[in-house]
Amino acid sequence: MTEPLLRVRDLKTYFVTEHGSGTARAVDGVSFDLYPGETLGLVGESGCGKTVTSLSVLRLIPEPPGHIRPGSFIEFAGRNLLTLAPRELRAIRGNQIAMIFQEPMTSLNPVFTVGDQIAEAAIVHQRLSRRAARARAIEMLKLVGIPDPAQRVDHYPHQMSGGMRQRVMIAMALVCHPKVLIADEPTTALDVTIQAQILELLERLQAELGMAVMLITHDLGVVAGSADRVVVMYAGQVVEQAPTPDLFARPLHPYTEGLLASVPRLDAPPARARARLHGIPGQVPASSDWPGGCRFHPRCPYAWDRCREEEPPLLDASSGEPGSHTVRCWLLTEPQRRTTRPGP
Amino acid sequence: MTSSASALVDVQGLVKHFPGERAFFGLGRPRAVVRAVDDVSFAITPGQTLGLVGESGCGKSTVGRTILRLIEPDAGRVLIDGLNLLTLGSRELRALRRRMQIVFQDPYGSLNPRLTVRQTLAEPLAIHHLATGADAGRRIAALLEEVGLDPGFAASYAHELSGGQRQRVGIARALSVEPQFLVLDEPVSALDVSVQAQVLNLLADLQQRRRLTYLFIAHDLAVVKHIADQVAVMYLGKIVEWAPAPRLYAAPRHPYTTSLLSAVPVPDPMAQRPRIVLTGDVPSPAHPPAGCPFHPRCPHPKKDARCRTEPPALREVAPGQLAACHYAEEPL
């Protein structure tokens, strides 16, 4: 098997809480690999730690109040990103690993033209002249499907629609042809017809440029259509990790199962269209106060004594290659306890 | 969809145009008028849910607000149980307001941060002279229980609650005056999916128990499929398709509806469908295209000069199904 491009091991990113008294363990021992050319979906609800994970990879966590704990390890191209000097890190950030954010409205600088913002990374990292960088910016705008790129290059963000701004963000991220693109909820702020355009664009560019994409989203539909593998996060931890077809066909963690049962389905047959949704009782706990034992046990329909007392490790549930499907749940050791799902 | 005697809510020819802002810090010439709602008609039968769907800026929220007169419409007729809302005086309007309420999208912005849940819920009871003192306290406890919250939350402030809990308080506030009709304006779109499911179940239960009539405004077609009896699709201020929900999802006739449905991601890697990717953005409602407003983005192979010049009427294309497309007989 090919070597991973990015290897995250036991990542712990903690924050000092507002009153200075407690610690929010936003990301608490996360490990995963990203392989060349693949799309990895990182899924979970608000507060599960998926965005903090992605920001930690590029060390974009504000310190203080945040800090990445010693013992965490993020390997890219044979080096630990967490111990690099700021200068070395800058050579990688925006160059070999690039990022696009959820809010195309607020992540662009309103006082510079989009051309200047796209060209900046090429000038800094590739030492292009201003003229060459401008030509590159026009080329990038064309690549992301913006009409009249030679005129648009001199426009300001406020002159563009939300979908266009997200295309500009993608052009900015890809200008140095990164090996890894981290896309944090890239379509959440967009309407569904514009979301379809952006997802299609990302798929096309990934195929053309051969980069690996880490797609962070709360939308299981987006993951099902775009990701090769999925990592499901809950309460700062990875709770399940599997190839996409396997995860949707055989969700093993009760949280994954509940999440899938919560989604209203457009493809539901008419007879089931108005049926009750399952939902998950309760809500995500606060990151300063994760429950003991399995962190999902207060909301889990199958929980028993062991779940309340002992935190489960990631257990191997693969039907194919060992380690391809892992689940953080004691049910794997006592499958007979997975009875028919209790009613909502 | 045409007006009927049995409808609880009957809207005819609703129009709302917003004057364009003046350029140059309010001193320049006014910009073009934004035609947010442009001749919209529909009716809702008691106990039923009409889903009103469309993308940002299509005018769906403005429809919800104008039919409650939270925004004054420019033209049209809104009958609630036979009373014309638009010609009522302020005292009669206030009496009618008790029968129609709204739940907003943002559970963070729609609750007053300086009021406790008890104060939030006591206010409408006092305004409509329904209950005060210990009587109000009992009703508030019962309301909280009905929306699935522990009555102990009455002493909490909005910031102490999660998004789902706040939305339950918003629903309790709307229900406190015992309305017949609720406008639900994107009531679950700010919530996480597991909490969204809880709130959708709650809305379905409340509708059954209290025989409520809903106008459910949303951009998420899967959510609307789950809750609506009838669906109206809006584009640039107009209804472009109307049908009973099973019909709309199984056999859409307007190319915009078809494209919208194909663009919704389905959470099943084995059920991926070909996406119709529309080109371009939604045009500005200040400058809607001539002819059919959808023609610049329309993927229909029959698209021709007629689409560019002649606005299609909303007409019945199958029993109970209306579409505003010259080629609705040949759907995509």
pLDDT digits (tens, 9 = 90+) for B64-77: 999 999 999 999 99
Among B32-46, B116-130, B263-277, which is the least confidently predicted range?
B263-277
> Does the pLDDT value for residue A292 go beyond 90?
yes
CB of A12 within 8 A of CB of A69?
yes
Mutate to test the interface with A, among B160, B192, B227, B248 (most CBs of A within 10 A): B192
Q: Do B225 and A266 touch (CB under 8 A)?
A: yes
> Does the pLDDT value for residue A228 go beyond 90?
yes
pTM, two decimals, is 0.89
Pull the structure tokens for residue B197: 């499911």
Q: Do A224 and B219 touch (CB under 8 A)?
A: no
Calculate how close chain B gets to A304, using CA atoms only, in Å.
22
Q: What is the DSSP string of B113-147?
A: TTSBHHHHHHHHHHHTTS--HHHHHHHHHHHHHHT
Q: What is the DSSP string of A73-128?
A: EEEETTEEGGGS-HHHHHHHBTTTEEEE-S-TTTSS-TTS-HHHHHHHHHHHHH--
Nearest CA in chain A to B49: A274
- Give the pLDDT confidence of B12-59 residue by residue, as tens digits: 999 999 887 666 666 666 677 888 999 999 999 999 999 999 988 899
Calculate how close chain A gets to B79, using CA atoms only, in Å.
28
Nearest CA in chain A to B257: A193
Average of per-residue pLDDT across B311-329: 95
**Residue A344: per-residue pLDDT:** 41
B283 vs A93, B258, B279, B297, B325, CA distance in Å?
A: 37, 19, 11, 9, 18
Calculate how close chain B gets to A46, using CA atoms only, in Å.
7
Q: How big is the A-B interface in CB pairs under 8 Å?
A: 136
Q: Do B226 and A222 touch (CB under 8 A)?
A: no
Nearest CA in chain B to A266: B222
The radius of gyration of chain B from alpha carbons, rounded to an integer in Å, stands at: 21
Average of per-residue pLDDT across B119-139: 92
What mean pLDDT is reported for chain A?
A: 90
Measured CA to CA, the distance from residue A78 to residue B34 in angstroms comes to: 57
**Residue A28: per-residue pLDDT:** 94
Nearest CA in chain B to A251: B268
| Residue A343 binned pLDDT confidence (cut-offs 50, 70, 90) | very low
Residue of A151, A80, A68 lying closest to A114 (CA atoms): A151
Calculate how close chain A gets to B94, using CA atoms only, in Å.
35
Q: Do B55 and A225 touch (CB under 8 A)?
A: no
**Residue B30: per-residue pLDDT:** 67
Q: Do B263 and A192 touch (CB under 8 A)?
A: yes
H/E run at residue A45: none
B165 neighbourhood in chain A, CB within 8 Å: 283
> Does the pLDDT value for residue A211 go beyond 60?
yes
- Among the partner-chain residues B192, B271, B275, the one whose CB lies closest to the CB of A196 is B275
Residue of B255, B260, B290, B286 lying closest to B273 (CA atoms): B260
**Residue B295: per-residue pLDDT:** 95
Q: Do A283 and B265 touch (CB under 8 A)?
A: no
Q: Do A279 and B201 touch (CB under 8 A)?
A: yes
Residue type, A292: G
Q: Is A235 exposed, middle or buried (0-12, 13-18, 19+ CB in 10 A)?
A: buried
Q: Is B29 exposed, middle or buried (0-12, 13-18, 19+ CB in 10 A)?
A: exposed
**Residue B191: per-residue pLDDT:** 87
B43 vs B1, B188, B213, CA distance in Å?
A: 5, 24, 11
A200 neighbourhood in chain B, CB within 8 Å: 275, 277
Calculate how close chain B gets to A202, using CA atoms only, in Å.
13
- Give the pLDDT confidence of B154-210 residue by residue, as tens digits: 999 998 888 889 999 999 999 999 999 999 999 998 888 888 999 999 999 999 999
**Residue A30: per-residue pLDDT:** 96
State the number of CA atoms in the 13 A half-sphere of A68 facing the CB: 24
- Among the partner-chain residues A191, A224, A281, the one whose CB lies closest to the CB of B269 is A224
B263 neighbourhood in chain A, CB within 8 Å: 192-193, 195-196
CB of A344 within 8 A of CB of A279?
yes
Among A164-178, B23-37, B94-108, B190-204, which is the least confidently predicted range?
B23-37
Among A245-254, B55-64, B240-249, which is the least confidently predicted range?
B55-64
Q: Do A273 and B269 touch (CB under 8 A)?
A: no
H/E run at residue A9: strand A6-16
pLDDT, greater one: A287 or A324: A324
> Does the pLDDT value for residue B104 go beyond 60?
yes
- Give the pLDDT confidence of A20-65 residue by residue, as tens digits: 678 899 999 999 999 999 999 999 988 899 999 999 999 999 888 8
Tell me the ipTM for this assembly: 0.84
Q: Do B264 and A248 touch (CB under 8 A)?
A: no
- Please list, residue by residue across A258-294, b when 16 or more beta carbons sit within 10 angstroms of its beta carbon and e when fewer do: bbbbbbbbbebeeeebbeebbbbeebbbebbebeebb
Question: Which residue reads 């009750």 in tokens?
Answer: A276
A278 neighbourhood in chain B, CB within 8 Å: 197
B246 neighbourhood in chain A, CB within 8 Å: 270, 273
Q: Do A274 and B226 touch (CB under 8 A)?
A: yes
CB of A72 within 8 A of CB of A9?
yes
- Give the pLDDT confidence of A69-106 residue by residue, as tens digits: 999 999 998 899 999 999 999 999 989 999 998 776 77
Question: Which residue reads 């000092």 in tokens?
Answer: A16
Calculate how close chain B gets to A12, using CA atoms only, in Å.
24
In whole angstroms, what separates CA A57 from the centre of its chain? 11
Residue of B59, B88, B100 lying closest to B215 (CA atoms): B100
- Among the partner-chain residues B269, B271, B278, the one whose CB lies closest to the CB of A193 is B278
